[in-house]
Chain A
Amino acid sequence: MNSSLRKALLGSATAALTTLLLAGCAGKNEPENPGTPPRVRVITTEQYLNTIENVFGSSVNMDMKFPPLRRVDGLLANGAALAGVTSGKIETFQRAASSIAGQVVSPERRSYLIPCTPASETKPDAECAKQFFSQTGRLLHRRALTDEELSSYVTAANQAADRLQDFYAGIELVLESMLISPEVLFIIETTEGDVDDQGRRRLDALSLASRLSFFLWNAGPDDMVLKAAESGELNTERGLKRVVESMIASPRLEDGMRAFFDDMLGFDDFDSLSKDPLVYPFFTGATATDAREQTLRTIIDHLIVDQKDYRDLFVTRETFMSPALAPLYQIPASRGWTEYEFPEGSPRQGLLTQISFVALRSHPGRSSPTLRGKALREHLLCQIVPPPPPNVDFGKLENPDAHYKTQRERVAVHLEDPACAGCHKITDPMGLALESFDGAGRFRTTENGATIDTSGDLDGVPFDDVIGLGQALRDNPSLPSCLVDRLYSYGSGGAAKPTDRPLMKYFTAEFAESGYKLPDLLRTIALSEAFQHVTPAKKSGPSKAHEPTEEIVIDEQLPATTTVDAAGAAQETKQTVASIAKAR
């Protein structure tokens, strides 16, 4: 080894060690926080798809969609802890399970998805079934199956194989039932006493593995994470750091963060987005799909590939382009997705100026400063804009006086009515800056022949145009703190409480210290004491019992009895689901 190379390696090793030490010290200033309640969350479509893909590979084709969740405190993910499960939803789960099980045992896939070959295809093979279910069941349940469970699955598979005279048919039937098992479909957090801090409770290692995995990967834990949990490594500070570092370095982080930002930005609204084809003939279904994808690609590239400052997402000219989007940006395109940088002076700077934001936050046939301002406040700054009062007269807006040529003139009506003015003052000034883009996201400088005035202000920071708005947003202190808040909520399954403020401040300060780099923030949250610890769950007395219903209702907080013994609750849920499925 020559000396310069040795020097360089020594230098990088020192830097790495310093980083590690600093990272090790990062949690020292964490304020005391009781943690979050342990939760039961229903698995989302994407989490299910990602998990299935991780277990069985991408050759298993799944065209399925579970019913949407309710957005709670800014995130659909929070709704997963408050979801009701209808019999219709169970049917959807079962259809998916049936399709997946059929594909796994299909002749073209069984050779590589089933880890053994039965002695005879027409007879049961307990050893082979055991091998398959112990491996697959562990990944699907996010824990090793108990001997009793495994025996039960193998017995059922043998019985089915015997009656159907087909080993693979037996595997298929039992795999289908496993895929709709409540313990697969619900992410159930269980707790244990913290041996290092008497009196506190923490997630047990397997629950922590799941929380980390769904937080960072939007999928169940893989073999590496499960092994760390099973071996007790995850309970050690060093082991937890190693696992978190591996998870952050994994390509699966992209899946996880795509899911998070899709949720945070409210992109589920794309599923119901429609534009009037006569007003915006150039805005097609392909445009909407690619607009969503463009923003997600921009975010992932900026935050994970380049590890740049989160705030700069709102001023960056770098993005990705597709043939379906390029006509709206009025530029040539190459085939497929390619990197693209808007020229200097372009009005396209930052996420606010991408089609995903300005088209999604518009009406079908016209732009909307109010919807845009509201989305900016709610999705990016975590502020709540109250809904319009029930007696508001929309007539002036929906049948505007032709004398008013621009949206600025039309929405001025809002400000004349004191009942409207309060809220519109916090949405319209920044929404009007985005009037540079029509309701489909195309750039414009005039509306009905009149020059568009794009000046405004954001929380007292004035600007002349959309670039100024982007800069004002970038510098707004609520921007990074909102991301922190949403990420913590997303990872822990519920909104942060007022008592979590010191913790959020700490996370935000750490985020700033790191130069607003997302991987650093993810690391800080994932390694925090608060993320691992749980508050005592509320006891649910008989008076709080739910009326008999077709739905299974999952409380945000588990009853006290299930905090320490979630298996009992899970079993109860499993039986209920099974009985509903059987009744149908």
Chain B
Amino acid sequence: MTKPDISRNASRKLTLRGAAALRKRKVRGAAALLAASASIVLSTAAAQPLQEEGQAILKDRKIGYALTHKYWAVYETEGAKTECPQGFNDGPREQFKKLYGDGKKRSIVEAQLKREGEQWHPTTEPESFKFLEAQGNTSYGLNLDGRIGPEDFLSPEGEKGIDNQLYRVIGCIGHYRTMGTINHFENLFMRSYDDARIVIELTEVDDLKNDDAVVVTTYRGSDGLLQDATGEGFIPGGTQRIDLRWGKEYVSQLKGKIVDGVLTTEPADRVMLPWGVTFGTSGHHIFRGFQLSLKLDPQAAEGLMAGYVDVKAFNHHLNTSWSTHHHSYGQLSSPSQYKAMMRLADGYPDPKTGKNTAISSAVRVKFTQVYVRQPEQRELVSKK
């Protein structure tokens, strides 16, 4: 007989007999009575219909989901001909070559460190490079301001008033497109690191198809995702323990409704989500005017989350989460992106200058169903 190491180790750590001894003795006295009643139950159980497993998904009018996929929403056409007719933007290496590739001798301070400084202390001053904004009037996203303006997009489904100016900025940066480095690694690291676990829980749900009033709460979970046997999907039905020790700032409540299986939420002023990426860095993003639009089913949820992101915070997250060589792989110039974001920012004006500080954005997301487990309320010993 063989048994895998995992079970071997498990059995070594704690013999069942030892661990259970105390627990079992406590209930020994009632055992006879229970045994008697069990035999009655057993004799009648067969006559009753078996319970369906899985009904518990909406138990207590709740259902939870954990985020498994997230992509900054970029509407892509074949060969990028429509949205990027002039091709993609340059990255750090191409820009460096254009700036300093003339053969002149320069010190590190005049070249590398100068460029480094511009990355960490970006300005809105014009630069010599031409920034290629995404073209066209179609984009994924949500109508965040409730209006239909001249700069707004049309959704692929034909909805007007879509606010996603971030798409104009990132649509022609290779990093953010399908197979781009950020697309790939943001998801890889989100799945790898439990402290980047984004969980939502719907409560007060009467019907997952139509319900005119539900509550959505965002959390940071603390458990791994369960990858399926194909290696590409995730198994619904996992459990996520909510982090209320260090993750209270990720808790936000939204009001919502479900119509024909699609959840939409009212804008929430400020929602903070864990967004750690490379090697466990503990980054986050804050969305203003945050909204969700998700198609729900008992196993998964898919759709958009959208809101305004603060430009400076977004840029800081980019620079602290990704090294310049990562930027280079996806031809992402942080200073150029910053200037474009400030130029196209469309929300939350600075009270003093009147200049917009945030830019509308959208993220395409997929969630898998999880059971949400709130931390046990433990009374402090000192208070007993």
Contacts and interface: CB of A to CB of B under 8 A. Distances in A.
Nearest to B230: A277
Contact of A271 (B2, B6, B17): B2
Given A281-B229, A305-B21, A315-B42, A335 B16 contact: no
Contacts of B20: 301, 305-306
Contacts of A465: 46, 50
Contacts of B21: 305
Nearest to A296: B7
Contact of B16 (A68, A259, A300, A467): A300
Interface centre among A297, A327, A345, A442 (most CB of B within 10 A): A327
Nearest to A285: B229
A285 B241 CA distance: 23
A327 B12 CA distance: 26
Contacts of A337: 10
Interface string B362-375: 00000000010100
Contacts, number: 161
A76 B54 contact: no
Interface string A34-49: 0000000000111001
Given A300-B16, A323-B238, A330-B57, A259 B229 contact: no
Contacts of B371: 326, 331-333
Interface in A558-583: none
Interface residues of B, number: 48
B117 interface: no
Nearest to B4: A289
A258 B226 contact: no
B1 A349 contact: no
B45 interface: yes
A148 interface: no
Interface stretch (A233-241, A262-270, A386-394, A491-499): A262-270
A18 interface: no
Among A282, A315, A343, A467, chain B packs the most CB atoms within 10 A around the CB of A282
B232 to A, nearest CB: 9
Contacts of B45: 344-345, 349, 467
Contacts of B238: 323, 326-327, 333
B3 A305 contact: no
Contacts of A254: 11, 15-17
A87 interface: no
A63 interface: yes
Given A254-B11, A254-B17, A271-B2, A471 B237 contact: no
A470 to B, nearest CB: 9
B25 to A, nearest CB: 11
A293 B10 CA distance: 9
Interface in B187-207: none
B223 A305 contact: no
A56 interface: no
B41 interface: yes
B102 interface: no
Contact of A268 (B1, B10, B227): B1
Contacts of A468: 46
A255 B53 CA distance: 33
A106 interface: no
A126 to B, nearest CB: 36
Given A277-B230, A282-B229, A331-B56, A289 B235 contact: no
Contact of B373 (A45, A218, A324, A332): A332
Contacts of A251: 15, 17-18
B50 A284 contact: no
Interface in A299-314: 300-301, 304-306
Interface in B1-40: 1-8, 10-12, 15-18, 20-21, 24
A315 B373 CA distance: 29
A45 B2 contact: yes
B233 interface: yes
A501 interface: no
A42 to B, nearest CB: 13
A436 interface: yes
Contact of B51 (A63, A282, A334, A345): A345
B51 A280 contact: no
B2 A65 contact: yes
B228 interface: yes
A249 B16 CA distance: 13
A330 B46 contact: no
Contacts of A280: 229
A259 B1 contact: yes
Nearest to A47: B1
A268 B20 CA distance: 28
Contacts of B8: 49
A5 interface: no
A326 B51 contact: no
A195 interface: no
A417 interface: no
A445 interface: yes
A323 B17 contact: no
Interface in B150-194: none
Nearest to A66: B2
B236 A327 contact: yes
A278 interface: yes
B4 A277 contact: no
Contacts of A443: 50, 52-54
B16 A301 contact: yes
A423 to B, nearest CB: 27
A301 B23 CA distance: 12
Contacts of A255: 11
A215 interface: no
A436 B50 contact: yes
A517 B293 CA distance: 58
A214 to B, nearest CB: 12
Contact of A267 (B1, B50, B236): B1
Given A262-B1, A277-B228, A326-B238, 12 more contacts: A254-B16, A282-B229, A284-B226, A289-B7, A297-B16, A304-B16, A323-B239, A329-B53, A344-B45, A345-B45, A464-B47, A467-B42
Q: Which 6 A-B pairs have the closest CB atoms?
A: A327-B237, A332-B371, A277-B229, A281-B228, A330-B54, A443-B53
9 contacts: A251-B18, A282-B236, A293-B7, A324-B226, A330-B53, A330-B54, A333-B238, A345-B45, A443-B54
